[in-house]
Amino acid sequence: MQFTGLLLDTVFMLAGAAAVFVTVLYLLKLRKRRIEVPFSPLWGRVLADRKSHADWWRRLKRLLSWLLHLILVGLLGLAMAGPHFKDEILQGRHILVLIDNSASMGAIDVSGGVDRLDMARRQAIEILEAVGGEDRVMIAAFNNRIEPLSPFVSEVSLLEGPLRELKVAATGTSYEQALGFAADSLRGKGQAELVIISDGAGLAGKSFDVIDFGPETTVRHLKIGERSDNVAITAFNARRYLANKLDFEIFVQAQSFFERTIEAELQIHADGRLVDTKALTLQPGEVYSQFYPSQAVSGEEIEARIRVTSRDARDVFPLDDRAFALLPSKKKLQVQLVTDGNLFLEGTLLLNPNIDVNRVRLSEYDVDAVYDITIFDRVTPPISDRGNFVYFAPEGELSPFELQGTVTNPIITDIKKSHPLMRWITLTDVNIGQSAKLRRAGRDEVVASSFGTPIIMTRSEEGRQMVVVGFDVRHSDFPLRVAFPVFIFNLLDYFALADQDFIQSYATGETWAVAVARGLTTAKMHPPQGPPVEIPVFDGRAMYYGEAPGFYRLETPQSSVRIAANLSDVEESRIAPNDIELPEIEITRQADSMVFERYQIWIWILLLATLLLLIEWWTYNRRVTV
């Protein structure tokens, strides 16, 4: 038995004084009411009859009455002492409730709630309703990061609002981060209690390091979820063809997490239109992969959907049944070739169906004309401040590259093979009749050189990118080699920057850094659902933490960038609930054993005292104890 009320010394003193007072009252002669009767001998007869048993009964009644009042004094004293059961927790506890709101908590394999998160929310609210007045409760949501919903507060009703607003985040789960946060939050707190409400998805076979939650910390795991029935799109993206980088291919991967064979249907939608469907039979755990060539997809917003078609099977996790990808606009590069005639260049460019080539003579050249790429063949006219320019055998004073004469029969000795221009080709045995002797400036990058003399260089300036090839292709055997058209394609790719600007899909649960124009401080992000959000821009990159899969649109005054985001987390699709196991820590699995109630025994003691008083009152009025 524990006591939280008045000090026991005080209680004993008060109860003792009251007991003495009661005893004194009983010892004092009772001042009785005097009634005048006409003939007392008649009463004497009555008394004579009852006298035999009246005396001991009277004494007994007085003794019982005295004992009753002593018991009442004792009960009141006990109530003042504030008794509690021995195993009852009396001091205010620090209770940290960690609620998993990762993607797997969106599974609907629960009864009594909408989804796992809804069940977790209900259990958390039940806990809040049961805590004592001196308890301090903190609630934090965790997925692949930690989001504290409150500090430790005793006014738990304030926590219900944030709890109800908690939503499933289409992200992975970082249990290590959550447990580390819990350890940091509870360490040093008295009567600490950690309650993890999670499905434990993805924990199968996972082990943790020893975590120090502090002494006497109780760790509980309330497992949510019942089944693992799920089929998911685990990968979905678009990429360039290796052979033709101006076209794209789509890759989709699906996996079944059912424990039996199921029938499913995989659909590909482009701009909302169904463009392909495929019936699948998936064995337990089977991974299905499929490529889609670009010819089959003509849209820009590509979406893959998978659904279970077996009648007796149900996919309980819809969040990973859709995946999103973006294809760049199918526009052709506008290329201007300024030359007096070069069949090798013209022929190679004309062979490429993804570009429009406009050949002009130097006299027809318009410096203000806008092209994606302008190729100067043996001419160096004035150029604008913005654009992409390629020089073959530059000459003249207007050459942006400084020329230091010529070099005859140069042999290319050094090649920067990692440069995009040099992909899949080699120039070591190219025979060149004559090449300009280029001088490398500060930010120029030498791609190929002959004994230190740059032969091919690139330059990046504000608004302009340039590539210079020092020799005339007609005075070399380069056009006769397979490497020449590849080099031209590399050249076009280098300016198109397709690898960097397009196709990039973002994973939910990460902070995205999207390149925007420099100088901006904010941008506006349009998520798949909900109103647009203003997001910060740092150093030319807009920062945004994406939690929902789907298509986003990032708007700046200068541009509008589309973004596709996917869950892309196999562990989250593996929704089978698991128990959290921590080394050297015993984890309680049941919520029933949680002693959140505080038994106010003093109330029952007062009720008992009141009951005794009522019995005494009743017996007195019924003349039983008079």
The distance of closest approach from Cβ of residue 59 to another protein in the complex, given in angstroms and rounded to an integer, is 12
- Residue carrying the six token digits 């042999």: 411
The distance of closest approach from Cβ of residue 33 to another protein in the complex, given in angstroms and rounded to an integer, is 5
The distance of closest approach from Cβ of residue 54 to another protein in the complex, given in angstroms and rounded to an integer, is 8
* Cβ atoms of 255 and 290 closer than 8 Å: no
Contacts to another protein from residues 498-517, by CB under 8 A: none
The distance of closest approach from Cβ of residue 63 to another protein in the complex, given in angstroms and rounded to an integer, is 15
The distance of closest approach from Cβ of residue 47 to another protein in the complex, given in angstroms and rounded to an integer, is 6
The residues, ordered by sequence, that sit 6+ positions from 349 with a Cβ below 8 Å of its Cβ are 335, 337, 355, 357, 375, 488
The distance of closest approach from Cβ of residue 19 to another protein in the complex, given in angstroms and rounded to an integer, is 23
| CA–CA gap between residue 120 and residue 149 (Å, rounded) | 15
Contacts to another protein from residues 587-626, by CB under 8 A: 623, 626
Q: How many residues bind another protein (CB under 8 A)?
A: 23
Two tokens, residue 62 = 């007085």
x/- contact string, 117-146, with another protein (CB under 8 A)? Answer: ------------------------------
The residues, ordered by sequence, that sit 6+ positions from 153 with a Cβ below 8 Å of its Cβ are 136, 137, 138, 159
> Which residues on adjacent β-strands are paired with residue 476?
432
Angstrom distances, CA of residue 508 to CA of 239, 464, 545, 566: 19, 34, 8, 6
With respect to another protein, which residue has the nearer C-beta, 52 or 207?
A: 52
The distance of closest approach from Cβ of residue 624 to another protein in the complex, given in angstroms and rounded to an integer, is 8
- Nearest one of 368, 465, 354, 470 to 412, comparing CA atoms: 470
Two tokens, residue 542 = 């807009």
With respect to another protein, which residue has the nearer C-beta, 8 or 42?
A: 42
| CA–CA gap between residue 247 and residue 442 (Å, rounded) | 35
With respect to another protein, which residue has the nearer C-beta, 311 or 622?
A: 622
With respect to another protein, which residue has the nearer C-beta, 69 or 459?
A: 69
| CA–CA gap between residue 427 and residue 414 (Å, rounded) | 9
Classify the C-alpha dihedral 526-527-529-534 as positive or negative.
negative
* Cβ atoms of 492 and 485 closer than 8 Å: no
With respect to another protein, which residue has the nearer C-beta, 30 or 243?
A: 30
With respect to another protein, which residue has the nearer C-beta, 242 or 626?
A: 626
Contacts to another protein from residues 13-72, by CB under 8 A: 30, 32-47, 49-50, 54, 58
The distance of closest approach from Cβ of residue 623 to another protein in the complex, given in angstroms and rounded to an integer, is 4
* Cβ atoms of 377 and 336 closer than 8 Å: no
The distance of closest approach from Cβ of residue 67 to another protein in the complex, given in angstroms and rounded to an integer, is 18
| Kind of pairing between the strands at 445-450 and 533-538 | unpaired
With respect to another protein, which residue has the nearer C-beta, 14 or 68?
A: 68
With respect to another protein, which residue has the nearer C-beta, 86 or 623?
A: 623
CA angle 204, 284, 258 (to 5 degrees): 70
Helices 601-621 and 40-81: angle between axes, nearest 10 degrees: 180
Contacts to another protein from residues 520-549, by CB under 8 A: none
| CA–CA gap between residue 69 and residue 263 (Å, rounded) | 80
With respect to another protein, which residue has the nearer C-beta, 291 or 620?
A: 620
- Residue carrying the six token digits 């070399």: 476
Residue ranges that bind another protein, judged by CB under 8 A = 30, 32-47, 49-50, 54, 58, 623, 626
